[in-house]
Amino acid sequence: MMTALAAAKAYAATQNTAVARPAAPAQDEQGLDFGSVLKSAMGDVMQNTKAAEHKIAAQAAGKAELIDVVTAISAAEASLETVMAVRDQVINAYQEIMRMPI
On whether residue 24 sits in a domain, the answer given is no
The parts of the chain modelled with pLDDT lower than 70 are 1-30
Predicted local distance difference test score (pLDDT) of residue 14: 63
Provide the domain limits for residue 82.
4-14+33-99
Asked whether residue 83 is assigned to any structural domain, the reply reads: yes
**Is 52 within a domain?**
yes
Q: What's the pLDDT score for residue 102?
A: 81
Domains in the chain: how many in total? 1
Predicted pLDDT of residue 15: 64
pLDDT of residue 34: 80
**pLDDT the model gives residue 18:** 46
Q: What is the pLDDT of residue 99?
A: 94
Interacting residues of 17 by C-beta distance below 8 A, sequence separation 6+: 37, 40, 41, 44
Q: Does the pTM of the predicted model rise above 0.75? A: no
Considering the domain boundaries, does residue 28 fall inside one?
no
Residues 6+ apart with CB under 8 A from 52: 69, 72, 73, 75, 76
Within the chain, strands assigned E span none
Task: Please tell me the chain's helix, strand, coil percentages from 3-state DSSP, rounded to the nearest 5.
Answer: 75, 0, 25
Task: Tell me, yes or no, whether 21 lies in a domain.
Answer: no
